[in-house]
């Protein structure tokens, strides 16, 4: 059985397709098991059709974390954050990804495929996956995020 902490969901639209493929390879090289929810080509699609299944899978605890990518990162982030158990964070550099985990216990990393280099994206992914939630004063804050 796979170590659940080393399994991830991954999804994108056409604006994130090439970056998703790059990240998927790098994660596999690092021992991660990735479920790719698509897309599987650079053809134009509607980002919610791919963000919803990824967010739903994390929300239902099928995966502890996920990565979503679209052109700006905004569309997939907005879609994912519709789920009560999701804390999706749009990050375009390593420090934002680290802080999203450290202070916000983010469980989905959203990347702007058209505005980030492969190198910076990979660095952000590594920071996101290797940073633990700090808890403490931040715990009470994240508990205030979901609406009843």
CA-closest candidate to residue 67, choices 94, 88, 43? 88
User: Is residue 127 within 8 Å of residue 112, measured between CB atoms?
Assistant: no
User: C-alpha 52: how far from its chain's center?
Assistant: 12
Residues constituting the chain: 148
Classify strands 108-112 and 88-90 as parallel, antiparallel or unpaired.
parallel
User: Quick check: helix, strand or coil at residue 105?
Assistant: coil
Q: Which two tokens stand for residue 117?
A: 């280099």
Provide the annotated active-site residues. 70, 103
Q: Where are the alpha helices (DSSP H) in the chain?
A: 17-29, 48-59, 74-80, 94-104, 118-130, 137-143
């Amino acid at each position: 059985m796979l170590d659940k902490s080393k399994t991830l969901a991954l999804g994108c639209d056409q604006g994130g397709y090439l970056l998703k493929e790059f990240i998927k390879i790098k994660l596999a090289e690092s021992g991660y098991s990735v479920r790719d929810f698509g897309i599987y080509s650079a053809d134009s699609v509607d980002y919610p059709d791919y963000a919803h299944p990824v967010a739903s899978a994390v929300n239902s605890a099928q995966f502890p974390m996920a990565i979503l990518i679209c052109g700006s990162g905004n569309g997939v982030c907005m879609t994912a954050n519709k789920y009560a158990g999701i804390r999706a964070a749009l990050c375009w550099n390593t420090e934002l990804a680290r802080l999203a985990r450290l202070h916000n216990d983010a469980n989905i990393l959203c990347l702007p495929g058209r505005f980030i280099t492969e190198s910076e994206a990979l660095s952000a992914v590594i920071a996101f996956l290797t940073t633990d939630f700090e808890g403490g004063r931040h715990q009470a804050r994240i508990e205030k995020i979901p609406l009843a």
